[in-house]
Chain A
């Protein structure tokens, strides 16, 4: 099996103390939460080795493509099915107390029919409605900025899947997502 070593390199533009703190804490968070996500039934890479002091994780190499890069190549039916599944996994993450923190189509890989969630460096453990809303807003922003041709249908499919797996708690989080989007100072009021 092929492995991948993910190294968080120092960012020269960041103060070294701040940079070390972030690289270390994100490496730890990523490792902890990848395990937790897997237990909740969301596919993630297998971890082989974690070294927070050097900000290195060795993990399974997923030979897939970013969902971001395949959206426009799918049929309407396939696209809808894909985003219902993604919404379903997002609901499972939230249900298991996981906030992804960078929930976008760049951080979900498609390997044949299998979907794999990656990049949990900004993830945290929480069941707060606010954090769920912010997480969902990230996906919606990605749809608006990058998948604008299909934004409405993809959001509807995502929401359908999200409701299916998270159940009754989904409504509050979805309402909060809309509130978060309106919160910036200059947003059209509806």
Chain B
């Protein structure tokens, strides 16, 4: 069985093609880079709609499959930015109708976990999912992915991107901050806000921005301090959730999983708790279509299809609202 997945929850347009044998046949990612500022939902949606045809064609070419060989069309139904989600959903509906194939709506956050399990072989992990839009610690329990901790305001990736923009660094901020941090030496005291297994990044962003404009620090020290503080907070809540759930594995995914310092922290914590660490490779950790295709495929095999009249997008669809019959 072969699934085609459409991802368009934020600034990445992704088209993936995946087989039931866990082969990623194609995983086209087309990133919308705003000319200035952060993501503008309508401009990103226009980009996705302009590039959709191309991306689908490239995915089919890369996979070397014909339209007839695709068995289902999966799409990210939420959560995400409304205009971006609607562009993906419209295209997915059109493809499914044109090809006469079943449509499967997928939760974006669940897809991150499922493709992470597929790619790393993790079976029952506690997952730290960190990106520009999400910061969530979750684990499977009785038919659902339960959320043990999450950000109370902005996502960690959003904090890094906003600082990078303010400091004139490259977008997205993570990689450039990591490079500069490598030459940092002095730790600037910054707010460290952890509430049980939840965390907050807005105070940290305000403080680091103030330090930046004070002119008292090198950009290297700023990056170093931001990274050390932001990732230590993630480490603490992850450790608490690992102790709480007793999960045997720890999975790191999302765009921020590319950061080596964070991956090191995750490995340390897993080691301390006798859990096996897994870091999802970046092409499958960042927002992508393969994760949507794969999750659509296993959901379909578990009997799930999305009728047209239930295919409206849900920008605020929480992952703990989704039933996960394929893991029972």
Known: A13-B232, A148-B141, A185-B155. 6 other contacts (CB 8 A): A15-B232, A18-B192, A101-B196, A144-B147, A145-B148, A188-B316
Q: Which of A44-52, A133-141, A166-174 contacts B (4 or more CB under 8 A)?
A: A133-141
Say whether A122 contacts B150, CB under 8 Å.
no
How would residues 96 to 138 of chain B score, 1 for a CB under 8 Å from any chain A CB and 0 otherwise? 0000000000000100000000000000000000000110000
Given A101-B195, A146-B146, do A186 and B235 touch, yes or no (CB 8 Å)?
no
Do A180 and B152 have beta carbons less than 8 Å apart?
yes
Tell me if A184 and B268 are in contact (CB < 8 A): no
Residue A164 interfacial (CB < 8 Å): no
B171 interface residue, CB < 8 Å from A? Answer: no
Which listed residue (A122, A148, A185) contacts B196, Cβ 8 A? A122
Nearest chain A CB to B170 CB, angstrom units: 23
Q: Which segment, of B51-59, B248-256, B301-309, B317-325, faces chain A?
A: B317-325
A183 beta carbon closer than 8 Å to chain B: yes
Assuming the contacts A13-B265, A186-B133, A187-B318, asked whether A122 and B152 have C-beta atoms less than 8 A apart, the reply is no
Rounded to whole Å, the gap between the CB of B75 and the closest CB of chain A is 17
| A138 and B196 contacting across the interface, CB-CB below 8 Å | yes
Tell which of A57-65, A86-94, A102-110 binds the partner.
Answer: A102-110
In the assembled complex, which residues on chain B have CB atoms less than 8 Å from the CB atom of A134? 152, 195, 198
Task: Decide if B151 is an interface residue (CB 8 Å cutoff).
Answer: yes
Residue from A13, A104, A141 whose CB has the most chain B CB atoms within 10 Å: A13
How many Å from the CB of B151 to the closest CB on chain A? 6
Are B235 and A187 closer than 8 Å at their CB atoms?
Answer: no
Q: Out of B149, B239, B269, B316, which one reaches A186, CB within 8 Å?
A: B316
Contact A122 B195 (CB under 8 A): yes
Q: Is the CB of B195 within 8 A of A102?
A: yes
Among B286-328, those with CB < 8 Å from A are 314-318, 320-321
B210 at the interface (CB under 8 A from A): no
Interface residues on B, range: 35 or more
CA distance A14 to B268 in the complex (A): 10
A12 interfacial by beta-carbon distance below 8 Å: yes
Q: Does A11 contact B (CB under 8 A)?
A: yes
The answer, yes or no, to whether A21 is at the interface (CB within 8 Å) is: yes
Chain B residues whose C-beta falls within 8 Å of the C-beta of A189 in the assembled complex: 316
- Tell whether A104 pairs with B317 under 8 Å between CB atoms, given A14-B235, A15-B228, A180-B152: no
Counting CB contacts under 8 A, is B1 at the interface? no
Contact of A18 among B109, B150, B232 (CB under 8 A): B232
Q: Are B265 and A186 in contact (CB under 8 A)?
A: no
Convert B260-274 into 0s and 1s, putting 1 for each residue whose CB lies closer than 8 angstroms to a CB of A: 000011001100100
Is B23 in the interface zone, CB < 8 Å from A? no
Number of interface residues of A (CB under 8 A): 34
Which of chain A's residues has its CB closest to B153's CB? A183
A-B contact pairs, 27 of them (CB 8 A): A11-B239, A13-B265, A14-B235, A14-B236, A15-B228, A17-B187, A18-B229, A18-B232, A106-B244, A122-B196, A141-B149, A142-B196, A145-B148, A145-B320, A146-B244, A148-B141, A148-B146, A184-B150, A184-B151, A185-B133, A185-B134, A186-B80, A186-B109, A186-B133, A188-B316, A188-B317, A188-B318
**Chain B proximity of A49: nearest CB distance (Å):** 25
B194 at the A/B interface (Cβ < 8 Å)? yes
Type the 1/0 row for A154-190, where 1 means its CB is closer than 8 Å to any CB of B: 0000000000000000000000000010011111110
Nearest A-chain residue to B135, judged by Cβ: A184
User: Once the chains are docked, how many angstroms separate the CA of A146 from the CA of B144?
Assistant: 11
Bound-complex Cα distance A145 to B155 (A): 20
What 9 A-B pairs are tightest by C-beta distance, nearest first?
Answer: A186-B79, A145-B146, A13-B268, A102-B196, A13-B265, A138-B196, A15-B228, A14-B232, A188-B316
Q: Which of B153, B192, B265, B321 contacts A22 (CB 8 A)?
A: B192
Tell me, in angstroms, the Cα distance from A185 to B316 when the chains sit together: 8
A137 touches B198 (CB 8 A): yes
**Complex CA distance for A58 and B316, rounded to whole angstroms:** 46
Do B268 and A186 have beta carbons less than 8 Å apart? Answer: no
Within 8 Å of chain A (Cβ to Cβ): is B214? Answer: no
Chain A hits for B235, CB < 8 A: 11, 13-14
Taking CB atoms, residues of chain A closer than 8 Å to B265 are 13
Measured in the bound complex, the distance between the Cα atoms of B318 and A189 in whole Å is 11
